[in-house]
A = this chain, B = another copy of it.
Amino acid sequence: MKSLTVKIPHIDSSSYDIKIKAGLLRDLPQIIEAQLGACRKMIVTDSNVKKSGHTDSLSSCGEIFVIDPPGECNKYMHTIVDILEQMEQTAMGRDSAIIAVGGGTVGDMAGFAASIFKRGVPVVHVPTTTVSQADSSIGGKTGVDSSFSKNAYGAFWHPAAVFIDVETLKTLDQRQFNAGLVESIKHALIADQTYFEYLEDNIDAILDKDNSALEEIALFNSKIKASIVSIDPKEKNQRRILNYGHTIGHAIESASNFELLHGEAVAIGIIGASIIEIELGIGNIQRLERVKKLLSKLSLPLKIPANITKEQIYELLSRDKKSIGGWPKFALIEDIARVHIDADNQWAHRVDPAVVDVAINELMQ
């Protein structure tokens, strides 16, 4: 047999900037032009965001593609193809770029489209929701759903830049706004004592959408998310801590038929994780009470809704994307900003079903 080896060269480390400022959108055309040069640009947004006026200042930048209706119902490949074909139709080339203006689903789709147009063009994220500003715009995960599962198709595609204008949060309704803050609480719990105390001390200013408080938490969130994805960009291990509260949370979200918002379900999931930690002897009741108090201030649910059964939860846990042998792994902490890491340096853990059952029972009362 003849044989030879093809070498794939290493790729140098690189970086991108996150800029945070109330009112940043107004200056964005100049800033983006300076950064990307005079390339053709496709703005990808959804009809809610467009209605809110967040794309108005960018209209001179290039073409626009509006996802309508917004949300998961259009998070499929057909929308990606529609974006790409519009770019082809207007004869955009390899030197074009996509500007994503919106929440998580807009960013996921715009980033994915950018990753496969002409084998990859830059994407700039302009997140406009609490979740996307705290979380999804940073880290390079992109994708769409299949008929069978969430985020089944996609790519890792890092943005060229992220621009966070906290004023866009003022057009969100209060329920969406509050639910999105759960990712901020999660960040504080897994990574930063000072941040958790900041949230406790400033929750009223945050709920009042005070610009400087919103800028402050955007910076805390970006730093935490950035540091974790820099260590483990492809979620081999450490990045799994970002799933804190999400294992039980995802199951509750699905069981509610998405009547609960993602953040609302994760709030219950975080309490579930705290109970598991207490059962395992690595948590404590005082921390759980602090978490509950903060979540209560945001008017978030602390229990599983009465119309969801235990059987539904277990069925969904067994089908979790990260399940092995029908049982998921759990990201856990030992204290605020102290991740539970086992002897094999693993950041996600198998937990005895009996222990999980204690948590589920307590969440159902």
Which residue on B lies nearest to A234, using beta carbons?
B119
Q: Is the CB of A120 within 8 A of B15?
A: no
A-B contact pairs, 29 of them (CB 8 A): A3-B20, A5-B16, A6-B15, A6-B17, A6-B18, A6-B229, A6-B230, A7-B14, A7-B15, A7-B226, A7-B230, A9-B13, A9-B230, A10-B10, A10-B12, A10-B13, A11-B11, A77-B84, A84-B152, A85-B146, A85-B148, A88-B149, A88-B152, A89-B148, A116-B153, A117-B152, A117-B153, A120-B155, A120-B156
Q: Is the CB of B155 within 8 A of A119?
A: yes
Q: Is A306 an interface residue when CB atoms closer than 8 A count as contact? A: no
When distances are taken between beta carbons in the complex, the residues of chain B under 8 Å from A303 are: none
When distances are taken between beta carbons in the complex, the residues of chain B under 8 Å from A80 are: 77
Q: Is A350 an interface residue when CB atoms closer than 8 A count as contact? A: no
Segment with Cβ contacts to B, from A174-182, A216-224, A242-250: A216-224
Q: Is A233 an interface residue when CB atoms closer than 8 A count as contact? A: yes
Q: Is the CB of B18 within 8 A of A13?
A: no
Q: Is A1 an interface residue when CB atoms closer than 8 A count as contact? A: yes
Q: Is A290 an interface residue when CB atoms closer than 8 A count as contact? A: no
New A-B contacts (8) at CB < 8 Å, excluding given A1-B20, A6-B17, A6-B18? A2-B20, A3-B19, A4-B223, A6-B16, A9-B231, A116-B116, A116-B153, A116-B154
Please report which residues of chain A, range 1-50, place their CB below 8 angstroms from some CB of chain B when the two chains form the complex. 1-21, 24
Q: Is the CB of B17 within 8 A of A2?
A: no
Q: Is A141 an interface residue when CB atoms closer than 8 A count as contact? A: yes
- Please report the C-alpha to C-alpha distance between residue A115 and residue B119 in the assembled complex, in whole angstroms: 11
Q: Is the CB of B88 within 8 A of A148?
A: yes
Which residue on B lies nearest to A138, using beta carbons?
B6
When distances are taken between beta carbons in the complex, the residues of chain B under 8 Å from A127 are: none
Which residue on B lies nearest to A323, using beta carbons?
B93
Q: Name the distance in Å between A230's Cβ and chain B's nearest Cβ.
A: 5
- Please report the C-alpha to C-alpha distance between residue A12 and residue B80 in the assembled complex, in whole angstroms: 31
- Please report the C-alpha to C-alpha distance between residue A279 and residue B11 in the assembled complex, in whole angstroms: 40
Q: Is A158 an interface residue when CB atoms closer than 8 A count as contact? A: yes
Binding site for B on A (CB under 8 A): 1-21, 24, 77, 80-81, 84-85, 88-89, 112, 115-120, 138, 140-141, 143, 146-149, 151-156, 158, 162, 215, 218-219, 222-223, 226, 229-231, 233
Which residue on B lies nearest to A223, using beta carbons?
B4
Q: Is the CB of A153 within 8 A of B4?
A: no
Q: Is the CB of A219 within 8 A of B4?
A: yes
Among A2, A146, A222, A233, find the residue whose CB has the most chain B CB atoms closer than 10 A: A2
Q: Name the distance in Å between A222's Cβ and chain B's nearest Cβ.
A: 6
User: Which residue of the partner chain, among B84, B119, B146, B218, contacts A146 with CB atoms under 8 Å?
Assistant: B84
When distances are taken between beta carbons in the complex, the residues of chain B under 8 Å from A77 are: 77, 80-81, 84
Which residue on B lies nearest to A119, using beta carbons?
B154
Q: Name the distance in Å between A123's Cβ and chain B's nearest Cβ.
A: 14
Q: Is the CB of B2 within 8 A of A226?
A: no
Q: Is the CB of B2 within 8 A of A218?
A: yes
